[in-house]
Every structure is written in structure tokens, then in C-alpha cells.
Structure 1
Amino acid sequence: MQQRTPRLFSVRTIVLGLVLVLAFILVYPTLHTYLRQEVELRALRGEVADARQRNEDLEAELARWDDPAYVTAQARERLSYVLPGETAYRVIDPETVEEDVAPADEQDTPVAATTTAVPWYTSVWDSVEVAGAAPTNEEVAAAAKAKAAKEKAAKEKATKEKDATGKDTTSDDDSGATP
């Protein structure tokens, strides 16, 4: 009698293993794509929910603009409008204000001065037009020379008036401006 050695793997076990490996090779790419698309789908659903929330917020803000009281409040806050008969005050923090601020008519900026007789949009348009035409270095130098000459002429005039009247007509701060 011959003795048979036990086999570790039978033919059936090997064939079953090969079928399982082949099935895994065929199913894995599809399963991987499916799982990746599920993650993308969850992310897109989150983006859609965020977009819907933003849309609702914007629609609520748009609905607020239908209320005349809200429009009035926004005009007062954003554009500093006041109702007729009211007095507008601007509170300035003394720690942030510089002491040596020159008056608007003495500054070298070409921006048009805002007056109460001119509507705000006219001032904005004037400032846009001025911003588009920036001065050249030669124009800046000429303006500085003209200002220096003007100050010198004002000082000479004040000195002549002082000599003629015997009084001091210049201001105490020596700014060079005539009264």
C-alpha cells in the first residue's frame, strides 16, 4: 500500500482563489470609482446647501430694501444723510487727529472741495476726473514754486502793512497767511 501525502491545496481551492482574485481585479476599479464619487457627491451637496443658505440670506437682504425705514437708515449710515432740520455732527477721536492739519484751501491736492451746495455725486465725479489726470513731476515742482512765491509775497505785504500802520497784521502762529 502506498501512502498518500496530504495536499495543502486542492485543485478546487486553487480555482476558487483564482476566481476570487480575478473578481477582485475586475470589481476594485469600479468600487474605487464609486466610493470616490460618493465623497465628491457629499462635498457637492454641502456646497449646494451653502449656496442655498447664501441665496436665502441675499434674498432676505433684498427684501429689507423694500422697507422705507431700512432705506432711510442705510442712507443715514452709509451716505451720512440727515433729514431737513437736523444738524449733523462728526465726532473725531482726539488721539487720532493730527494737530498740524492744513485747511482744505491750503492743501496741494487737486481734489475738488466738497460743499453743501453741490450734490455728493458731483463731488465724487469731480474727484474721479481729477484722479485720472495725475500731475507730472514738473507740474508738482511748478506748484511748489508758485506756493513759495505766494507765501513770500504775503509775508512782504504783511510787513509793508505793519510798517505803514504801525500795527502787526499777521497772525500769531506765523503761518504766512494774511487776515
Structure 2
Amino acid sequence: MADRARRQQPRGAATRQRGRPVLTGRALVLGAIMVLLVVILASPITRYLGSRSDVSHAAAQLHADRTELHQLTRQKQRLADPGYIQQQARNTLQYAMPGDTVYVVVDKGAKSALASSSGGGKSTPPKGRAWNTRIWASVRSAGR
């Protein structure tokens, strides 16, 4: 009867019953070597991947810097041209050259800012105390 039971069991089951360990010495050594390799190679691989990332970031920064340098060089060349400076003064600062006729377009019913800023040629000093007297009075009243 024992012979029949052995014949019906699969072959792997019979070897386990005989006392053969599931984890052999070879498997243990192989596992230890794998763990050792992972521990030893983890740091260099991490540094390698980090340096590759740094190199790609540096390349992108270099490209951006070269583009900015090219734009600044073009701007420097434009600013060296007196005609460009004059054009910028006219457009940005709204300057007019001597002899130019300046037209100011004002909406219907609105006052021109040009008329209020010019003062109409009359300059009247403010009435009352002088400016320095008013400042000292405000300093004294703030100290109370």
C-alpha cells in the first residue's frame, strides 16, 4: 500500500517528504549575491541618472542663454542706430522734432490733457504760507 501511495503522488511531492530543504545553499548564495549587487550598484546608478538629468538641463539652459544673447546682440545693434533711438523717442515718449506739426485728437466734449499740462502761460504761486513753513507745521502736529 505504501508503494501505491508513492506511485500516485507527483514526483516533486516525494522529494519534499524525504527532507530535502526548499531553499538550497546555492539559492541562498545566489540571493545574497543579488542583494549585494543591488546595494553596491544602487548609488552609482542613481548618480549616473542624476548626472544625465543635470546634463540635459544644462543643455536646455545653454540653448536658452544663446537665444537670449542673440536677442540682446540684435537689440544692442539697434540701439547703436540714431534713427532707431529717434523712432523710439517719438513712439514711446511721444517726442516731436523741431519743425514737426503735432496734432492732438480729443474726444467730443473732453478737455485736452495738453492744455491743462501747459498751464496756459500763467503761473501763480500758491496762496498762504511758504512750503517749508507748512512742512514744519505738519511735522510738529504729527509729533503731538
Q: TM-score range by the shorter chain?
A: 0.5 to 0.7
Greater C-alpha radius of gyration: 2
The Cα offsets for residues 57-100 of structure 1, whole Å up to 9 and x where unpaired, read as 1111111223343222112123333233212234456799799x
Which residue of structure 2 lines up, in the alignment, with residue 9 of structure 1? 23
**Which residue, out of 68, 73, 95, partners 2:87?**
73
Offset at residue 36 of structure 1 (A): 2.0
RMSD: 3.7
Unmatched 5+ residue regions in structure 2? Answer: 1-16, 127-131, 139-144
Is 1:29 matched with 2:28? no
- 55 and 107 in structure 1: CA distance in 2 versus 1, 3 angstrom threshold: farther
Which residue of structure 1 lines up, in the alignment, with residue 54 of structure 2? 40
Which residue of structure 2 lines up, in the alignment, with residue 138 of structure 1? 137
Is 1:52 matched with 2:52? no
TM-score with structure 2 setting the length: 0.58
Which residue of structure 1 lines up, in the alignment, with residue 5 of structure 2? none
Aligned mates of 1:47, 1:73 — CA distance in 2: 34
SS of 1:71 mapped into structure 2: helix
Aligned mates of 2:31, 2:110 — CA distance in 1: 81
Aligned mates of 1:48, 1:29 — CA distance in 2: 28
The percent identity for this pair of structures is: 25
More helix by percentage: 2
SS of 1:136 mapped into structure 2: helix
Which residue of structure 1 lines up, in the alignment, with residue 9 of structure 2? none
SS of 2:22 mapped into structure 1: coil
Aligned length in residues: 112
TM-score with structure 1 setting the length: 0.48
Higher relative contact order (CA 8 A, sep 6+): 1
- 98 and 74 in structure 1: CA distance in 2 versus 1, 3 angstrom threshold: closer
